[in-house]
Chain A
Amino acid sequence: NAGVTQTPKFRVLKTGQSMTLLCAQDMNHEYMYWYRQDPGMGLRLIHYSVGEGTTAKGEVPDGYNVSRLKKQNFLLGLESAAPSQTSVYFCASSYGVLSYEQYFGPGTRLTVT
């Protein structure tokens, strides 16, 4: 089992460019999440999905879009990157709602210049 994987591991974007982060899990989990982690702050939920074909907004959704076309994949898109989106992005998955244990991916470090 690979668990939760994320691609790419690192990325540098110029302001205004777009990109998509890919998250994949092989644990057959229904729930998937995207978080961002900034220095000195706790992880913040961007968007989440409770099943294939569904998505919902989290705490900080502005500037991001997501899609869950397949149960095992959860994509995070930045349509027009801004320096404020420089962060480390983590994907996670769980069997059930947020109170269940979440399994995190290794993270993607994104820098927007």
Chain B
Amino acid sequence: KNQVEQSPQSLIILEGKNCTLQCNYTVSPFSNLRWYKQDTGRGPVSLTIMTFSENTKSNGRYTATLDADTKQSSLHITASQLSDSASYICVVSAEYGNKLVFGAGTILRVKS
């Protein structure tokens, strides 16, 4: 069964600190993996998209890694800001791009 599991479910960190969010997937055949940021009351916005051959991708203070062998991905946020408070969703594309499997998300709260 295609599944995407994210951990932790929620996280509180102090402004300026770094954090790492995890994503494990059992999706086959794998096409690509993406991370989205969803602010409260808004739709998800894409942060990164990685294919099988990419193991790191950055977007500003966000760095995503992918280990296709262990089927794990992580999203590292550097020097967090209050505006980073959001839900972060891991999404895996399967079946040659014809199916997206969404994780339930990690809720991050950055406090001052």
Which residues in A have some Cβ–Cβ distance to B below 8 Å?
Answer: 4, 40-45, 90, 92, 97-107
Min C-beta distance of A35 to chain B, whole Å = 8
B interface SS class: strand
Task: Kindly state whether residue B101 has any CB partner on chain A within 8 Å.
Answer: yes
- Cross-chain contact of B43 among A45, A97, A99, A105 (Cβ < 8 A): A105
Q: Which residues of B contact A45 (CB under 8 A)?
A: 100
- How many residue pairs, one in A and one in B, have C-beta atoms under 8 Å apart? 48
Interface of A is mostly: loop
A107-B102 contact, Cβ under 8 Å, with A98-B93, A99-B32, A99-B97:
no
CA of A4 to CA of B45 in the docked complex: distance in angstroms?
12
Minimal beta-carbon separation of B25 from chain A (angstroms) = 11
Q: How many whole Å from A30's CB to the nearest CB in chain B?
A: 14
Known: A98-B93, A99-B31. A41 touches B104 (CB 8 A): yes
Q: Which B residue's beta carbon lies closest to that of A40?
A: B104
- Taking CB atoms and an 8 Å cut-off, the chain B residues in 67-98 that contact chain A are 89, 91, 93, 96-98
When distances are taken between beta carbons in the complex, the residues of chain A under 8 Å from B104 are 40-42
